[in-house]
Structure 1
């Protein structure tokens, strides 16, 4: 039975439910067995609940992908491998790259979005990067600055641009570039309300001066490290 498989998780939780039922049933036993039954029942229930929760977390993050890894007989990958983005071949410098996904027409932007990758984007293909999203009246190169450790995305909204229209932007970006779902928004005054309604309520900074970019970079998490192997 796989350590990250659903059958093991279901079995563990079924045993936990059974242990709860057995403990409740034996709770009112008379005589000298009352306290031992209660103590053993509570310990078993707690152990199974903790094990069940741990198995769910392990299934999601693959800390121990196999029984061999759990026993220390194999190396454990701490970060899953990263798939290449479709624009990885062009996101290799500080130069702005025009981003034209098919869905962009529904975003009602004044110009095509622009992407600027950090300087180490091409050199670290196993990393994913957080995002600095710039909402501005223009996506001219002078208005966009590269950010250390983050992918910069510049959008020029219009009066017809809504949060609902941009709901699929993060998913489309993750398809084309190696990014995480963590972001900070830099917004011109006219687009503050658009930024405030962004899903997940990310941090919003008014303006996009050099100081604003530095502040956004400080607020972002560091890019994920390349996969590392723990000693067996």
Structure 2
């Protein structure tokens, strides 16, 4: 029976109440040679009352969930582990090249046709993404109406952001539905590439970039606008984004700033020393 179980607490309360009731009923009879029994009954009632109070406090605070934890004995439990980050087959086949200089490649996510882009997105993964065991790296999404630069330039842009980081360059068109694009990126990026599922940075210009940030706030945490948009868009961005907003003239500056806003890479956790198993309310009886 766990120390925090309701059954133990109820039993303690009933025994305490019975001891107090018995002491009250027999008080007048416990005289003379029986006065020692009276004193013992008082001590027993006090001990039971203190034990009931202690069990109540322990249940509320969950300090000692089991007798083993009270006695200082550790109860081994199996700690949760995470599966290693796995590359899609087409990227795994190029792992040897990726481990050297990173990899730039056309990214064809599921639902890309519904985004109605001006061209397929281009992605860059750093060498850390191709290590054994896998590393989930932060992501920076760059939206633009221009064609993506060549591979060597993209690698240079990634270095400006401070590797390891994944770059995803999205070329939007006049008919690109921003809410659909935001939803698509939110689902496709963390499921098809070894990137973190949160803490993304977004770089772009004008209303489209601000709208994409607003539609994907569950993923994006920072917005860089370059080149600086009109005053109305700037005012709207300042009201919507508040602290994590950068406005400047060049892409390199935006990338350097965005790299400081993203979280660090994450490796799969490892199980360490077993710890005491905590109690759960649902398991009490």
Which category describes the TM-score, using the shorter chain as reference length? 0.5 to 0.7
Does residue 141 of the first structure (1) align with residue 156 of the second (2)? no
| Contact persistence 1:131–1:184 (CA under 8 A) | yes
Is there any run of 5+ residues in structure 2 with no aligned partner, and where?
Answer: 21-44, 66-74, 227-249, 275-285
CA contact (8 A) 1:129 1:151 kept: yes
- TM superposition shift of 1:184: 1.0
Kindly provide the CA deviation profile for residues 191-223 of structure 1, in whole angstroms up to 9, marking residues without a partner as x.
Answer: 222222213152112126112111111211221
Conserved in 2, the CA contact under 8 Å of 1:134 and 1:155? Answer: yes
TM-score (normalizing by structure 1): 0.67
CA contact (8 A) 1:82 1:126 kept: yes
In the alignment, is residue 166 of structure 1 matched against residue 208 of structure 2? no
Q: Say what the alpha-carbon RMSD is for the aligned residues.
A: 3.8
Matched, 1:155 2:155: no
SS in 2 for 1:174: helix
* CA–CA separation in structure 2 for the residues paired with 1:229 and 1:17: 29
1:39 maps onto 2:39 in alignment: no
Q: What's the counterpart of residue 217 of structure 2? A: 199
Q: What's the offset of the Cα at 1:173?
A: 2.3
Deviation of the 1:84 alpha carbon: 1.5
Q: Name the structure where helix makes up a greater proportion of residues.
A: 2
Note the residue ranges of structure 1 that are not aligned, 5 or more in a row.
Answer: 1-10, 52-66, 71-75
Deviation >4 Å, runs of 4+: 23-26, 28-31, 67-70, 226-232
Shift of residue 97, structure 1, vs aligned partner = 0.8
Residue of 219, 224, 228 corresponding to 2:261: 219
2:86 aligns with 84
Q: Structure 1 residue 95: deviation in Å? A: 5.0
What TM-score does the superposition give when structure 2 sets the normalisation length?
Answer: 0.56
Q: Name the counterpart of 1:3.
A: none
